Amino acid sequence: MNGFESALERVLGRENLAGIQKVRVGLAGAGGLGSNCAQFLVRSGFKRLKIVDFDVVEEGNLNRQFYFAGQVGRRKVEALRENLVSINPDLELEVLPVRIEKENAEDLFKDCDAVVEALDAPEAKRMLVEALAGTGKLIVAASGLAGWGRSDEIRVRRVGENLYLVGDLVSEAGPALPAMAPGVNVAAAKQADVVLSYFLEKTGRRDEKWRLSRAWPP
């Protein structure tokens, strides 16, 4: 156990940390949602991640995604790997520069316990959720996080037994309403929080006061 994990163990407790470190989380996309959610998951103790994205880092990504100027032009999955291991050098990462499609979606994430949907296009989001809906995995999707001044409207909704939706369900990103770092990070953090809460609940050791304060019981 390295220094980062030892410090986190003092926060979470040994059994909680050991439990979530066994969980394998898939990230479908490594853009604004995926890259930031990945760092929040790593900072929360998750270490087994599978990240799938075919894209490369562009200068236009730097205003809201977990990348840096020196990484422009590199594959997102490789750049993200580099950034995540700078937080915890002992991560178990699998990164795939692959486009997620209907034909391969289920197979890509078959070995994951949870999948974070972090794709851009609404049709791609729908495709992924439909492809994984019958697998029994935890799925955390997002819809509506663009603009500014409305972060309080980004909420978590439980819409199925193992399906959660994060967002305001309205403000899709586009030319008139761009995705900005504050809203993207709020949504990404909430996605990570759902995953963390869900698997801490599985350990049976989540704080009772915290559990009762939630509006969305897992």
Secondary structure of residue 28 in the 3-state scheme = strand
Residue 147 has pLDDT above 80, yes or no: no
CA 169, CA 171: separation in Å to the nearest integer? 6
- Which residue has better confidence, 128 or 206? 128
Mean pLDDT of 113-142: 95
Angle at 31 between CA 30 and CA 35, to 5 degrees: 60
- Eight-class DSSP state of 71: G
Name the pLDDT band for 146 (thresholds 50, 70, 90).
confident
Determine if residue 171 is left, alpha or beta; phi over 0 gives left, psi from -120 to 50 gives alpha, anything else beta. beta
The DSSP annotation for 181-214 comes to HHHHHHHHHHHHHHHHHHHHHHHT-S-HHHHHT-
| Structural domains counted in the chain | 1
Contact 178, 146 (CB under 8 A): yes
**Residue type for 86, please?**
S
Structure tokens belonging to residue 101: 């499609």
- Which residue has better confidence, 186 or 206? 186
Residue 173 lies in a domain: yes
Could you tell me the CATH number of the domain that includes residue 126?
A: 3.40.50.720
Where in the sequence is the domain holding 118, given as residue range(s)?
18-207
Residue 213 lies in a domain: no
> pTM to 2 decimals?
0.90
Secondary structure of residue 179 in the 3-state scheme = coil
CA 210, CA 216: separation in Å to the nearest integer? 12
Contact 53, 76 (CB under 8 A): yes
Residue 215 lies in a domain: no
